[in-house]
Structures are given as C-alpha cells and as structure tokens.
Chain A
Amino acid sequence: MSAREALAEIASIPRDCGEPVFAEPWEARAFALAVHLNERGVFTWSEWADAFGANLKANTQAGEPGSYYEIWWQTLEEMGERHGLASAVERSHRSGEWQAAAARTPHGKPIEL
C-alpha cells in the first residue's frame, strides 16, 4: 500500500490540505517507517490501523495522554516485537550503544555507531 493509500485509511493522522503535517522531524520518520514496513509486507495496513487505534484509545482514556506520534511510535515498537523484527532487549542494548556513541562524539561531529 502506498503512503497515500495508507493515509486515506487512517483519518486521524494530523494534516493540512490533505497532506500529513509533522511537528518534529522524528515524527515524519515514524510515519515513514510504518508505511515502509507495510510496503515490505511485514504487516498489513489494517493490522497496523487496529493496533494503533487500540493504543490511541487506551491512551486517551489514561490520565496524561501522549502525543499522537508518541503513540504511533509505541505501536511501531510493539509491532517490531510481534513480528520478531526487534525485541525490547535488543532495543535496550542498541539504545545504550547510541548513548555511548553520543557521549564520545564531540559536538560538531556526526554521531555514528
């Protein structure tokens, strides 16, 4: 499914004149990752919409709702686990590697693993 079709399926995605808008760059990457994993056949878009919708609903009922794309991201991490792409343990390990890479990188140089 193309990005355009994916957008049509999820009416709640924030947009302006029909196109999605992102408050911060990572939000666009989160959006692109979900669309891309669907294109690659990792999950169907209806599976995505169901999982995301359930998280959105649960989050809205909770006391302090997260932002739209924070919930999108939570769904992405869960889908990664469900389909065996990346486990919580792997993410925790990799997260530590990125933090260590940042700590040894002087400001002004790109952070690389």
Chain B
Amino acid sequence: MGKDHSHDHDHSHLDGMELKVRTLESLLVEKGYVDPGALDEIVETYETRVGPRNGAAVVAKAWSDPAYLDRLRENATAAIGELGFTGRQGEHMRIVENTPEIHNMVVCTLCSCYPWPVLGLPPVWYKSAPYRSRAVSEPEAVLAEFGVTLPEGKTIRVWDSTAEMRYLVIPERPAGTEDWSESQLAELVTRDSMIGTGLALLPDEVA
C-alpha cells in the first residue's frame, strides 16, 4: 500500500445512489427477478462508451511534455482539467508513475471509486469481489492472470481508491517511441495500463 495514503475513516461507506442501487438490485436478484450475469452483460456492452481515450491523451501528454508532467504531479485534478476532462463531483485525481523500479496498481472496495472522467465506466472485473480483495493480498498473482510478468525485484504498490481520491497510473513509456507524436503515443495507452493491470503496448503491437 502507498505509505503516504491515509483514510479519514476506518470503515466503508455506502451512500446516495450507490446504496439505492445495491438495495433494490440485491432484493431483485434474491427473489429471482434479475439474473446478475445478464445484467452485467448489458452494462458491459456500454462500459467503453465513455471511453478510456481521455486518460490515454493525458498519459501521452505526460510522456511528451515535461512541464505538463510537473503540473500533473503538482495537481492532477487541475492538469487533467486543462484538457477538458472534469468530474461531476470534483473528485480529486492523483497520478502514480511507473518506473523501472516500481509498478503501480489501483483497486477500490466500492465500484464507484474509479476515475470516470478519464477512464469511462469501470470494467466488471474491477468491481468484482475477487479482484477487490486479491489485488491487495496477492497482486503478483492477479497481474499474472492479466498476462503481466514484471522483472525480478520490481516493487508493486497497490493504491486503494476512496470516494475522495482517484488514481491514474502513468505507465512506462515504451522504448523506441522517442520521435512519436502525442496522438501516436496515445494509441499505445490501454485502459488496463492506466489501472495497472497491464502495460503500455509496444510499438510493434499497434498496426
């Protein structure tokens, strides 16, 4: 866990619409009116519609423009806002940067804690109970299931999102992209690489 990450409460909260949705949905599932699998399927059809492309633009700019990266480090909410991406509820954003020594991964106990303005709707696995608990207890195994093997000795940091703080992983910029434009670079940035369950694509992985 990030050592400078603190909570102002020691238990979880459910409120507002999140509580109402859980309440009715759990009753309907229990009574057999709703098949949770079918429900997930409908949601999944639309989950990429807000799209992680906003986040990819932020990462590509961070890779290309050192002054922008500094502003992201200083105040990510404002720097992301510069590109026109703002949340409805004023969530605080923070970037966590991958380096040759450190790999960052993001999780949350509540499905609502996800940086929607940059990543769109969370994938179903992000909200699943196994991911939420195992990302913390056995991050290496979770990464392996996503097909990610990190070099020996690399430290994994897991960041637990809250309603107040959302994280955006800045993946490592792939080698061989020194003269690439921001829009070319954005093509390398996948949603999973910004959650930390993937890496940025390599130049030969994009057509």
Contact = CB atoms under 8 A, between A and B. Distances in A.
Interface of A: 3, 16, 19-26, 28-33, 35-37, 39-40, 42, 69-70, 73, 76-77, 80, 85-86, 90-91, 94-95, 98-99, 102-113
Contacts of A36: 34-35, 38-39, 42
Contact of A109 (B22, B116, B127, B133): B133
10 contacts: A25-B111, A26-B18, A28-B121, A29-B21, A29-B43, A33-B24, A70-B17, A80-B24, A98-B14, A98-B22
Nearest to B135: A108
Contacts of A22: 46, 49-50, 121
Q: Is the interface of A mostly helix, strand, loop or mixed?
A: helix
A99 B114 contact: no
Interface stretch (B4-12, B143-151, B168-176): B4-12
A42 B7 CA distance: 43
Contacts of B49: 16, 19-22
Interface residues of B, number: 48
Contacts of A105: 11-12, 109
Nearest to B112: A25
Contacts of B43: 28-29, 32
Interface in B38-84: 38-39, 42-43, 45-47, 49-50
A29 B192 CA distance: 22
B41 to A, nearest CB: 8
A1 B21 CA distance: 23
A102 B168 CA distance: 25
A29 B25 contact: yes
B136 interface: yes
Contacts of B9: 107
A94 B50 contact: no
B164 to A, nearest CB: 12
A24 B23 CA distance: 17
Given A91-B23, A107-B109, 20 more contacts: A3-B45, A19-B46, A22-B46, A25-B122, A28-B47, A32-B39, A33-B39, A91-B24, A91-B27, A98-B14, A98-B23, A102-B11, A103-B12, A104-B11, A107-B11, A108-B136, A109-B109, A110-B109, A110-B133, A111-B14
